[in-house]
Amino acid sequence: MADSPRVRWRRKSLRFRLTAVASAALALALAVSASVLMTVLGRSLIGTVDDSTRLRAQDVRAQADAGDLANPIGTVDGTLVQVLDGTGRITHSTYGTDRLVPLLDDRDRDRAIAEDRALYLDGRPYGIPGPLRVVVVRADRGQTVLAARPVGEIQESLSIAGRVLFAGTPVLIVLLAGASWLIIGRTLRPIASLRKGAADITHTARSRRLPVPEARDEVYSLATTLNDMLARLEEAESRQRALVSDAAHELRSPLASMRLQLEVAIGHPEGQDWRETAEGVLEDAMRLSRLAEDLLALARLDERGGIPARSEPVNLDEVTRQVADRYAEARLTACDPVVVHGDAIDLSRVLTNLMDNAVRHAAAKVEVSLTADGVLTVTDDGPGIPEQDRERVFNRFTRLDDGRSRDEGGAGLGLAIVRETVRAHGGTVCLEDAGPGLRAVVRLPPRAL
Ligand SMILES: Nc1ncnc2c1ncn2[C@@H]1O[C@H](COP(=O)(O)OP(=O)(O)OP(=O)(O)O)[C@@H](O)[C@H]1O
Ligand SMILES: [Mg+2]
């Protein structure tokens, strides 16, 4: 099936379509202005002739009314004049003008007077090539004055002008279309180089940025926006890569430890305490499974892009009490009723991660409090975190050296999960100095009651 003209048009290049539309609009505008020009020019030239002919006719009428008409009437500017009496007979005329037949018969004379305008008349019967404009004026005593002027030259000039326009307009249109084609091509060049840049990125992965044009125009903002996007993608990609390599690194040590314990046990079965081996291996397996769970939690948070898994009313005080109850060393100092929107399991994971950290680092006591304005704090009396590290520890796989050396230390994902979960719930989390110790402060927007 052949494509419809519409489809074929849409498939043409942007350059072609823009040029075609611009040229069509231009052609229309030129044609309209040429025809307006011709009409106005013709009207005004003929109008000038009519005016001067009428002046001459009025002149002659004044002479006729005064009764001092010469015969023949003097010729002024080649104007032919006939003066008729009440019966329609020619009594006076200019030299060389028909003395027997009036230029207009009485019906046309009446019409010219009634409509108060000049009429066209073929000049050939009067020996004049081309048309005449005839003005009729009534005088006293039933007399009528006819004055006529040849307009052949004017019509000739008009038709020459028309021919020039008719021939010149298409040439002009072709020239302007060519110019549009070139200008539009130049304008679209930065887009072509954007495309080439994008192709280079795809094919070679060498340059990671699109070429930015010099002009501060729309293409410039497109290129910079796309470059920002590429930068963000690149950043996300490198973060992803770092995550994978960190994750692999974290997986390696429990796996290596399991392997070593099993190899030793199998290599020297005599006097082997299998229970001890199994406990060691189990511990590593638990570390692995915790790591896998944390990675999964982060992946889910990333996937949802800042929205909690569920959005239902959660009694934060209930969640807080349940989690705090699981830790013998934790003391609940305040627990006001607070309802927030979100996911109860995710929120209890937030508190669990903070409690794990606090319990791990605390010297003696851990305090938990929840106030009615949705502020949840977990305070310990441990070594705390130096000011300059308090933001950094929220990054994935970030452990401070002290934490790294500890055996029970995790992978460094706990606080990253906390921050991202709290963010997804529309809240904030920060670490403060509790002097001594550390206070984690989570602010969640409480649901309006
Ligand atoms: N209450 C705290 N007191 C002192 N240091 C802390 C405290 N909480 C966290 N940190 C430091 O911040 C680091 C990052 O904590 P995060 O919870 O993210 O990881 P982690 O506890 O080491 O491992 P994970 O939580 O994945 O088991 C910890 O390694 C530790 O050095
Ligand atoms: Mg932790």
Distance CA 250, CA 252 (A): 5
Residue 228 and residue 360 in one domain:
no
- If asked whether residues 271 and 337 sit together in one domain, one would say no
Last residue of a domain, one of 184, 207, 230: 207
Rg (CA), the chain: 51
Same domain, 350 and 294: no
Residue 77 has pLDDT above 90, yes or no: no
Question: Considering the chain, what is the average pLDDT of its residues?
Answer: 90
Given 177, 207, 237, the domain boundary residue is 207
Decide if pLDDT at 200 tops 90.
no
Q: Report CA(364)–ligand 2 centroid distance (Å).
A: 18
- Predicted confidence at residue 207, as pLDDT, reads 62
pLDDT band per the 50, 70, 90 thresholds, residue 1: low
Query: pLDDT of 90-123, one tens digit each?
Result: 999 998 888 888 998 889 999 999 998 899 988 8
Name which residue sits closest to atom 7 of ligand 1, judged by CA.
357
Q: How far is the CA of 308 from the centre of ligand 1 (A)?
A: 23
* Distance (Å, whole) CA 59 – CA 427: 100
**Are 105 and 180 found together in one domain?**
yes
What's the mean pLDDT in 113-140?
89
Cα of 381 vs centre of ligand 1, distance in Å, is 14
Looking at beta carbons, which pairs linking 243-249 to residues 24 or more positions away fall under 8 Å?
A: 243/396, 243/397, 246/396, 246/397, 247/291, 247/295, 247/397
Whether 332 and 228 map to the same domain: the answer is no
What's the pLDDT at 76? 85
Which whole number is the average pLDDT over 209-224? 89
Is 86 a member of any domain? yes
The pLDDT of 430-444, averaged and rounded, is 94
pLDDT tens-digit readout, 149-164: 999 889 899 999 999 9
Identify the residue whose C-alpha is closest to ligand 1 atom 9.
357
Q: Which residue, by CA, sits nearest to atom 29 of ligand 1?
A: 399
- What is the CATH classification number for the domain harbouring 345? 3.30.565.10
Instruction: Give the pLDDT of residue 400.
Output: 86
Q: Report residue 192 as tokens.
A: 């072509």
What's the pLDDT score for residue 343?
Answer: 94
**95 in the same domain as 38:** yes
Output the CA 346–ligand 1 centroid distance in Å.
18
pTM score, whole prediction: 0.62
State the distance from the centre of ligand 2 to the C-alpha of 410, rounded, in angstroms. Answer: 6
Do 297 and 354 lie in one domain? The reply is no
Regarding beta strands 80-84 and 90-93, do their DSSP bridges make them parallel or antiparallel, or are they unpaired? antiparallel
Burial, 13: exposed, middle or buried (Cβ in 10 Å; 0-12, 13-18, 19+)? exposed
One domain for residues 432 and 286: no
Which residue minimizes the CA distance to atom 27 of ligand 1? 410
Side-chain half-sphere CA neighbours of 66 within 13 A: 9
Judgement on whether residues 24 and 115 belong to the same structural domain of the protein: yes
Specify the CATH number for the domain of residue 225.
1.10.287.130
pLDDT in tens, 241-278: 988 999 998 899 899 999 999 999 999 988 889 999 99
- Same domain for 225 and 168: no
Which ligand lies nearest to the CA atom of residue 397 in the structure? 1
Ligand 1, atom 25: closest residue by C-alpha: 414
Range(s) of the domain holding residue 276: 219-304
Q: Are residues 379 and 344 in the same domain?
A: yes
CA angle 40, 44, 49 (to 5 degrees): 150
Sign of the C-alpha dihedral computed for residues 295, 297, 303 and 307 taken in this order: negative
**What residues are paired with 436 via a beta bridge?**
none
The proportion of the chain whose per-residue pLDDT surpasses 70, expressed as a percent, equals 97
- 185 and 156, same structural domain? yes
Ligand 1 binding pocket, CB closer than 6 Å: 294, 353, 357-358, 361, 380, 382-385, 393, 398-400, 402-403, 409-416, 438
Residue 135 falls inside a structural domain: yes
Residue 4 belongs to some domain of the structure: no
Domain boundary among 253, 284, 304: 304
Is residue 212, in this structure, part of any structural domain at all? no
143 part of a folded domain: yes
Please give the number of the atom of ligand 1 that sits closest to the Cα of 382. 3
Q: Which atom of ligand 1 is nearest to the CA of 389?
A: 12
Distances in whole angstroms, Cα of residue 203 to Cα of each of 206, 207, 211, 233, 340: 8, 10, 16, 17, 49
421 Cα–ligand 2 center, Å:
14
Kindly state whether residue 7 falls inside one of the protein's structural domains.
no
Hey, whose CA ends up nearest to atom 3 of ligand 1?
384
Does residue 6 sit within a domain? no
Say how many Å lie between the CA of residue 305 and the centre of ligand 2.
23
- HSE of 93, CA atoms in CB hemisphere, 13 A: 17
Which ligand 1 atom sits closest to the C-alpha of 440?
Answer: 1
Q: Which residue has the higher pLDDT, 408 or 291?
A: 291
Ligand having the closest approach to the CA of 399: 1
Distance 334 CA to ligand 2 centre (A): 23
For position 407, what pLDDT does the model report? 55
213 within a domain of the structure (yes/no): no
Q: How many structural domains is the chain composed of? A: 3
Predicted pLDDT at 404: 47
Q: How far apart are CA 420 and CA 350, in angstroms?
A: 10
Percentage of the chain with pLDDT > 90?
Answer: 64
pLDDT per position as a tens digit, 386-401: 999 999 999 999 988 6
